[in-house]
Each structure stands twice: as structure tokens, then as C-alpha cells.
């Protein structure tokens, strides 16, 4: 009888020790896991807000702008903005788009590494329209380069056939 009691006590002690070791290991793993999770949790990762257009239509101040006219670059709502092929245009300048033959002046190639390339065209376009009422529009075609997964863009500046010589001459003058 006494022998059995001793066995029982030893067994209980062993079980308790094993249980304690198991609990300790679980606790230790939990702490390590928490440390890893804390390290991996994104810190100060700003939530990117979707860009919502707050610009309003020049004709309807209560309406949110749908886009800008390709010729005058003013913002218009859904009611005012027309679409000629893939060129959004306001009603005032729709005839300029439809009644002219459009010729590409120049195409530039732009990548995310040199996005400033496109700005040159926008400056040129604005300058010609504001100073001389020479119409032009910019068309951008995007292409994904599968080799480096970069988005490349081909930005083309168009003007009307009758303004082409003026435009190219003026653009050379401006670049010089
Ligand atoms: Zn316009
Ligand atoms: Zn409008």
C-alpha cells in the first residue's frame, strides 16, 4: 500500500512538472508570437484616401465636375461635358474638335521615373491656348512593360492642321 502511494506521489509530481513545462513553453511561444506580430504590424501606414473630385462645374456650381475640356481645360459636369471619340470637350469647343483635322505635333515617352516629361506638353498647350487661342489637346496612352512591370505612357500633343505650322514654330521658339 505504501509503495503504491509513493508511486502515486511521484506520478503526480511528474505530471505537474510536465504540465508546468508545457504551460511555460506555450507562454514563451505566445510572447514570441506577439513580438513577431508587433514587428510585422504596419506602423504609421497612412490610409490612402480615394481621390474624390471636389471640383465643380463652371456652369453649374452645385454639380460636381466630371472632367475637364480637352481644349480649354475648364471643369464641367456630366450635363456639360461632351465626348468626341475619346476626347472630352465642352459644348463651346465641340465644334473646334469636330470641324478640324487633328495632327499629332509630338509624342513623348514617359515612365514613372520621369513623369515630368508630360508637364512640358501641358505648359505648351496652356501657353498656346491662353496667348493665341491655338487649340490643342493631349492624349495619353498607357502601356504596361511586362519586363519590369512599370507603367509607361506615350503622351501625344495634337493640334489642328491649320495651326500645325504655327504651333511647331512657336514650340521651337519657346524651347530655344
Ligand atoms: Zn472648352
Ligand atoms: Zn455643368
The ligand with the least distance to the CA atom of 76 is 2
Strand partners, 154: 109, 141
Closest ligand relative to 97 C-alpha: 1
Q: By the 8 A CB rule, do 64 and 55 touch?
A: yes
Q: Which of 93, 103, 170 is nearest to 132 (CA)?
A: 170
How far is residue 151's CA from residue 62's CA, in Å, rounded to a whole number? 36
| Neighbouring residues of the ion ligand 2, judged by CB less than 5 Å | 57, 59-60, 77, 79-80
Rounded to two decimals, the pTM is 0.62
pLDDT recorded at residue 43 = 40
Which of 129, 154, 115 lies closest to 70 in space, CA to CA?
Answer: 129
- The residue ranges of every structural domain in the chain are 54-96, 100-175
pLDDT tens for 103-114 read 999 999 887 777
Closest ligand by atom to 68 CA: 1
Res. 160: pLDDT tops 70: yes
The ligand that comes nearest to the alpha carbon of residue 91 is 1
For the chain, the average pLDDT equals: 78
CB 138 within 8 A of CB 126: no
Given a cut of 70, whether residue 137 has pLDDT beyond it is yes
**Centre of ligand 2 from the C-alpha of residue 80, in Å:** 4
Q: How far is the CA of 126 from the centre of ligand 2 (A)?
A: 22
Q: Cα Rg for the chain, rounded, in angstroms?
A: 34
pLDDT per position as a tens digit, 54-92: 799 999 999 999 999 999 999 999 999 999 888 999 999
Least-confidence region, from 51-55, 70-74, 121-125, 165-169: 51-55
Angle, helix 117-132 to helix 164-175, in steps of 10 degrees? 120
Rounded to an integer, the average pLDDT of 134-159 is 91
Return residues with CB closer than 5 A to ligand 1 (ion): 69, 71-72, 90, 93
Amino acid at each position: 500500500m505504501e509503495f503504491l502511494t509513493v508511486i502515486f506521489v511521484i506520478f503526480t509530481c511528474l505530471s505537474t512538472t510536465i504540465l508546468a513545462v508545457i504551460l511555460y513553453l506555450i507562454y514563451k511561444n505566445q510572447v514570441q508570437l506577439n513580438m513577431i506580430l508587433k514587428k510585422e504590424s504596419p506602423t504609421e501606414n497612412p490610409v490612402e484616401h480615394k481621390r474624390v473630385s471636389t471640383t465643380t462645374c463652371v456652369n453649374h456650381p452645385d454639380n460636381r465636375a466630371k472632367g475637364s475640356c480637352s481644349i480649354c481645360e475648364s471643369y464641367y459636369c456630366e450635363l456639360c461635358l461632351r465626348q468626341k471619340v475619346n476626347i472630352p470637350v465642352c459644348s463651346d469647343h465641340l465644334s473646334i474638335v469636330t470641324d478640324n483635322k487633328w495632327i499629332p505635333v509630338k509624342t513623348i515617352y514617359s515612365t514613372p521615373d520621369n513623369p515630368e516629361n508630360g508637364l512640358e506638353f501641358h505648359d505648351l498647350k496652356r501657353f498656346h491656348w491662353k496667348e493665341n487661342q491655338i487649340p490643342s489637346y493631349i492624349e495619353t496612352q498607357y502601356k504596361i512593360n511586362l519586363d519590369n512591370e512599370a507603367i509607361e505612357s506615350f503622351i501625344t500633343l495634337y493640334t489642328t492642321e491649320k495651326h500645325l505650322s504655327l504651333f511647331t514654330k512657336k514650340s521651337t521658339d519657346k524651347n530655344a
